[in-house]
Amino acid sequence: MYLCPMYSKELLKGTLSTIILKLLENNEKMYGYQITQEVKELSDEKILIKEGSLYPALHKLKDDGLIEVETVNIGKRIRRYYFLTKKGTKVKDEKISEIKSFMNTLNKILSFHIKIQLT
């Protein structure tokens, strides 16, 4: 599994945990593998989250009290469902606002033109 065949690796930094929190808002509870597939589909295959990125991120969100976990046995295989805590819901909203504001600012800078037409 590869990350971001289209996007530089650094771009996702600072946004991965927010993406995870957002998906949990929409889906109420999800397990790790499901999250990778959902992001893959929503991003049109442009964001491919690797296990080495996802699981540490999930564990950190858990440690920070933003999500809770529920372990379920599916046959002989385990599955860990994650869902938002109250704190997680709050932080999610804040992080989304922050990213959107940042994107607006960035878009403004990257679209800025000084093109003086001398006629």
Partner DNA sequence: AAAGATACATAGAATATCTATGTATTACAA
Partner DNA sequence: TTGTAATACATAGATATTCTATGTATCTTT
> Which residues of the chain form contacts with DNA (CB under 7 A)?
2-4, 9-10, 12-17, 31-34, 37, 49-53, 55-60, 74-80
State the burial class of residue 108 (Cβ atoms within 10 Å of its Cβ: 0-12, 13-18, 19+). exposed
Closest approach, Cβ 29 to DNA, in A, equals: 11
* Residue 112 contact, options its own copies, DNA, none, Cβ 5-8 Å cut-off depending on partner type: its own copies
- From DNA, its own copies, none, interface partner of 57 (C-beta below 5 to 8 A by class): DNA
Rounded to a whole number of angstroms, the minimum distance from the CB of residue 23 to DNA is: 13
**HSE value, Cβ hemisphere, 13 Å, CA-based, for 118:** 0
> What residues are paired with 80 via a beta bridge?
71
Beta bridge partners of 67: 84
Burial classification of residue 38, based on how many CB atoms lie within 10 Å of its CB (0-12 exposed, 13-18 middle, 19 or more buried)? middle
Please choose which of DNA, its own copies, none residue 70 contacts, taking the beta carbon within 5 to 8 angstroms, the exact cut-off set by kind: none
Which secondary-structure segment (H or E) carries 84? Answer: strand 77-84
Instruction: Considering the complex, state which of residue 78 and residue 87 has its C-beta at the smaller distance from its own copies.
Output: 87
77 binds, among DNA, its own copies, none (CB under 5 to 8 A by kind): DNA
Residue 9 or 108: the one with the smaller Cβ distance to DNA is 9
